């Protein structure tokens, strides 16, 4: 047993602890016996959904840090054995197609700040960085049916074609690239987790906005959101995504990029699935589903590299939507 009752697992840092994925990851790390330092942008908010997690009173410490101040992560990373860099500016600016250089710079410089803090600590062995399918799929190669970790989003193509949330797409791509390049130059292992659309239950009292498009058929609301479904939406359960992060932190041979996506479904099939499983909810927009197919021809994301390392996905679509609906009921949205 370690000093803090951490089963000798040591302390890890999770950036952006308030978030949908990071809060779930913190819960799992505490369950696994780690001590956790997490960063939030402001301590002046209600963090009780984190501080009341089992094990948190003894093994969770919360620090203030902001990607806009890259040096602010030092205190949280000090004495850690590993860092999960999850925080990222998530503001899509109403899906603005304008390229917002400041947001991109903040994401890239903030990521480098976290990595510099890791090197400076002299204790961190590995940094696991959360990336996104969006760093893989936009390259103008509409023809690939299946893509793997060799595929990179082409930033020039995104600047030209300006898809929905173009700045976010660019910031995820450049932050992941910068992290991997940093890892090659300095004495720290950098592993990236390219997650597809994360879905499932959430811990926070607020509804995570990243869930809105996937939940819009159930919750109703703005049709524009529903229309943003790609032709084949790739999903992963939040618990599987968090487990993959921990698996890649702990696996001795983990190296480079890992796609983490358990399934893909068309909007039409998703609508069929939801109407059959949850007949009690009025599922809007069925009349226009035929029009959705062509929004973006999304390739299948291959998680073969992760699965070949021995990782197993545990959850299907049923658990993703059951969990998200249950959480929506908890916060009074359903
Ligand atoms: N959700 C998905 O479907 C999905 C898919 C692929 C990849 N990802 C990636 O997964 C990670 C977590 O996403 P999520 O879905 O959990 O989103 P989320 O709930 O919005 O969490 C994002 C976190 O980043 C923090 N953050 C934003 N700007 C920051 C800044 N300038 N400085 C410090 N922290 C900042 C947020 O803090 P505040 O609470 O203060 O805003 C929040 O804690 C991100 O890296 C995202 O790109 C998500």
In order of 77, 111, 177, 190, 295, the CA distances from 108 in angstroms are 18, 5, 9, 15, 29
Q: Could you tell me if the CB of 64 is within 6 A of ligand 1?
A: no
Q: How many CA atoms lie within 13 A of 300 on its CB side?
A: 9
159-198 pLDDT, tens digit each = 998 887 899 999 999 999 999 999 999 989 999 999 999 9
Which pLDDT belongs to residue 321? Answer: 97
- Which CATH number describes the domain made up of 11-203+235-262+299-314? 3.40.50.720
Which pLDDT belongs to residue 156? Answer: 95
Mean pLDDT by 10 residues, the chain (334 residues): 66 98 98 98 97 98 98 98 97 70 96 98 97 92 84 94 88 98 94 97 96 85 57 92 98 97 89 90 59 63 97 98 97 93
Distance (angstroms) between ligand 1 centre and the Cα of 130 equals 9
Q: Could you tell me if the CB of 38 is within 6 A of ligand 1?
A: no
Which pLDDT belongs to residue 141? Answer: 74
Distance (angstroms) between ligand 1 centre and the Cα of 21 equals 8
Which pLDDT belongs to residue 4? Answer: 54
The 3-state secondary structure of the chain reads CCCCCCCCCCEEEECCCCCHHHHHHHHHHHHCCCEEEEEECCCCCCCHHHHCCCCHHHHEEEEECCCCCHHHHHHHHCCCCEEEECCCCCCCHHHCCCCCHHHHHHHHHHHHHHHHHHHHHCCCCEEEEEEEHHHCCCCCCCCCCEECCCCCCCHHHHHHHCCCCHHHHHHHHHHHHHHHHHHHHCCCEEEEEEECEEECCCCCCCCCHHHHHHHHHHHCCCHHHHCCCCCCEEEEEHHHHHHHHHHHHHCCCCCEEEEECCEEECHHHHHHHHHHHCCCCCCCCHHHHHHHHHCCCCCEECCHHHHHCCCCCCCCHHHHHHHHHHHHHHCCCC
Nearest CA to ligand 1 atom 7: 132
> How many other C-beta atoms are found inside a 10 Å radius of the C-beta of residue 224?
12
Spatial separation of the C-alpha atoms in residues 18 and 209, rounded to whole Å: 13
Pull the structure tokens for residue 115: 């990595």
7-23 pLDDT, tens digit each = 689 999 999 999 999 99
Q: Could you tell me if the CB of 210 is within 6 A of ligand 1?
A: yes
Which pLDDT belongs to residue 221? Answer: 66
Nearest CA to ligand 1 atom 21: 19
Distance (angstroms) between ligand 1 centre and the Cα of 193 equals 14
Q: Could you tell me if the CB of 18 is within 6 A of ligand 1?
A: yes
């Amino acid at each position: 047993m370690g000093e803090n009752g951490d089963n000798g697992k040591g302390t890890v840092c999770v950036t952006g602890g308030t978030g949908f994925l990071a809060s779930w990851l913190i819960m799992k790390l505490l369950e696994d016996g780690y001590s956790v330092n997490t960063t939030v942008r402001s301590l002046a908010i209600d963090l009780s959904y984190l501080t009341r997690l089992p094990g948190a009173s003894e093994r969770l410490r919360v620090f203030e840090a902001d990607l806009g101040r890259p040096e602010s992560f030092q205190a949280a990373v000090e004495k850690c054995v590993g860092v999960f860099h999850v925080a990222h500016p998530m503001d899509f600016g109403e899906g603005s197609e304008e390229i917002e250089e400041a947001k991109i710079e903040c994401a890239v410089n903030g990521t480098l700040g976290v990595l510099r803090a890791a090197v400076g600590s002299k204790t961190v062995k590995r940094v696991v960085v959360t990336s996104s399918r969006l760093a893989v799929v936009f390259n103008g190669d509409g023809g690939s049916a299946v893509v793997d970790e060799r595929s990179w989003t082409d930033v020039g193509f995104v600047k030209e074609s300006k898809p929905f949330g173009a700045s976010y797409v660019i910031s995820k791509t450049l932050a992941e690239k910068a992290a991997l390049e940093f890892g090659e130059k300095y004495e720290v292992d950098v592993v990236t987790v390219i997650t597809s659309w994360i879905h499932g239950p959430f811990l926070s009292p607020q509804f995570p906005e990243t869930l809105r498009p996937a939940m819009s058929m159930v919750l109703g609301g703005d049709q524009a959101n529903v229309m943003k479904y790609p032709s084949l939406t790739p999903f992963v359960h939040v618990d599987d995504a968090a487990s993959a992060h921990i698996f890649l932190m702990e696996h001795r041979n983990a190296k480079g990029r890992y796609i983490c996506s358990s399934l893909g479904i068309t909007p039409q099939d998703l609508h069929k699935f939801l109407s059959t499983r949850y007949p009690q909810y009025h599922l809007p927009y069925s009349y226009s589903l035929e029009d959705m197919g062509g929004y973006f021809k999304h390739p299948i994301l291959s998680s073969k590299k992760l699965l070949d390392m021995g990782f197993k996905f545990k959850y299907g679509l049923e658990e993703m939507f059951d969990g998200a609906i249950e959480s929506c009921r908890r916060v009074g949205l359903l």
